[in-house]
């Protein structure tokens, strides 16, 4: 995660976590550990630091450094292609669950995105209760000054969400800055529209019920609220 003030080296934390998951450290385990850490490497823009991380992987896992580097270059190329395809696919399907998951991944990736989400109704953007809770934790930690990965992991473990955050983190692709900015903007807009549309659908059902009961005042207020909600969608 990009941080305002680095508290715990995230790469070291992730490496330790992955090695603890696979204590036997046979060849297949080592390959899985390397693959799991490539998304973390991909977020780093400093080539010198990346080489240092690859060297550390080589030493800790007793694997060939050049081979790890070559596989990482393949990962970066494939990651960009997957990002393009998945972004178009999500826009086409308007899959809310996937959009919420991706937005949460972006928040885990960059504290500035946490602040952007917080300004746009914060965790209320998320309908999935588990994603909403993680988003709340991220926003709270960000308000305190910095998001410490170890502290976040500890809080989520208390909420029995460790497996969720591991799954979300491991499935993160490698993003470029312009891709992240565009995706955050598009996803927030889509989720806001989706939330408003859901409110409209629920309000229409209420209006129908009030009409059947002859509650004219409630119908009138409901229609006014309905008009307001529709204007909100049009303006986005």
pLDDT of 48 higher than 70: yes
pLDDT of 131 higher than 50: yes
pLDDT of residue 159: 66
pLDDT of residue 16: 84
Q: Counting Cβ atoms within 10 Å, is residue 48 exposed (0-12), middle (13-18) or buried (19+)?
A: exposed
DSSP, res 124: G
pLDDT of residue 178: 52
Lowest-pLDDT choice from 54-58, 160-164, 223-227: 160-164
pLDDT digits (tens, 9 = 90+) for 157-194: 766 666 666 656 545 555 555 567 777 888 888 888 88
This prediction has a pTM of 0.49
pLDDT of residue 162: 61
pLDDT of 215 higher than 80: yes
pLDDT of residue 124: 82
For the record, the structure tokens of 98 come out as 């996937």
pLDDT of residue 183: 79
- Average pLDDT of span 66-90: 65
Percent of the chain clearing pLDDT 70 (strictly above)? 77
Q: How far is CA 214 from CA 204, 206, 208, 210, 218, in A?
A: 15, 12, 10, 6, 9
* Angle separating helix axes 111-119 and 177-213, nearest 10 degrees: 30
- Distance separating alpha carbons of residues 171 and 164, to the nearest angstrom: 11
């Amino acid at each position: 995660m990009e941080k305002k003030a680095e508290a715990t080296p995230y790469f070291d934390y992730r490496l330790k976590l992955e090695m603890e998951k696979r204590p036997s450290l046979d060849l297949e385990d080592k390959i899985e550990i390397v693959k799991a850490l490539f998304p973390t490497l991909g977020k780093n823009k400093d080539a010198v630091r990346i080489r240092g991380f690859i060297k550390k992987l080589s030493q800790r896992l007793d694997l060939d450094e050049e081979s790890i580097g070559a596989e990482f270059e393949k990962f970066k190329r494939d990651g960009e292609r997957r990002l393009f395809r998945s972004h178009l696919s999500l826009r086409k399907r308007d899959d809310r669950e996937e959009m919420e998951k991706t937005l949460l991944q972006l928040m885990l990736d960059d504290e500035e995105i946490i602040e952007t989400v917080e300004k746009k109704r914060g965790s209320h953007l998320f309908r999935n209760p588990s994603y909403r809770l993680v988003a709340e934790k991220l926003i709270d930690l960000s308000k305190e000054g910095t998001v410490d990965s170890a502290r976040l992991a500890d809080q989520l473990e208390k909420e029995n969400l460790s497996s969720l955050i591991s799954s979300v983190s491991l499935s993160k692709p490698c993003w470029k800055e312009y891709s992240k900015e565009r995706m955050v903007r598009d996803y927030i807009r889509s989720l806001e529209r989706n939330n408003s549309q859901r409110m409209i659908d629920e309000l229409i059902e209420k209006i129908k019920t009030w009409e059947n009961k002859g509650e004219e005042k409630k119908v009138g207020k409901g229609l006014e609220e309905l008009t307001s909600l529709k204007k909100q969608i049009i303006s986005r």
